[in-house]
Amino acid sequence: MQQPLPSVPYFILLRRAEKRPVTDVWPITLNDPLPVVPVPLLAVAADVLLDLQLALATIYDLLGLDLGIDCTQPPMVPLTSPEVAFVEERLRAAGLRQ
C-alpha cells in the first residue's frame, strides 16, 4: 500500500486487473454496515454495485446461520471494550441477552 491503512480490524479490498497494483480499500469497524462496492466485470463494462450488507444478511437468513451460533458464549475473536459494548447492546436488543 502506498499510504498507511487506518487502524481498523476489517477491510474490503478490490483490485482491478487493468489498474494493478492499485487497490481500492474500504475500512470497516464492527459497528459499521458493510458497504456497497463497485464490482468490475470487464474493463469495457460498467461496474456492478454489490451491496455487501444485503448479501451477508440474505445468506445468513437463507442458511439459518443464527441456529448454529451460540450467542450466550463470548465471541472467539478479540474485541476492544467499545466493540464488546456494541455487541452486548445488539444482543440485548435482539432479546439474546438480559
pLDDT at residue number 40:
87
| Domain total of the chain | 2
57 shares its domain with 96: no
Q: What is the pLDDT of residues 40-62, one digit of tens each?
A: 888 788 999 999 999 999 998 99
pLDDT at residue number 19:
83
pTM over 0.75: no
In what helix (H) or strand (E) does residue 10 lie, and over which residues does it extend? strand 10-15
Contact assessment for residue 9 and residue 30, using Cβ atoms and an 8 Å cutoff: yes
User: What is the span of the domain harbouring residue 40?
Assistant: 1-63
41 shares its domain with 77: no
7 shares its domain with 54: yes
Give every residue of the chain whose pLDDT is below 50, as ranges.
Answer: none
Helix (H, G, I), strand (E, B) or coil at 89: helix
What is the rounded distance in angstroms from the CA atom of residue 38 to the CA atom of residue 70? Answer: 34
Preceding omega of 74 cis (within 30 degrees of 0): no
7 shares its domain with 48: yes
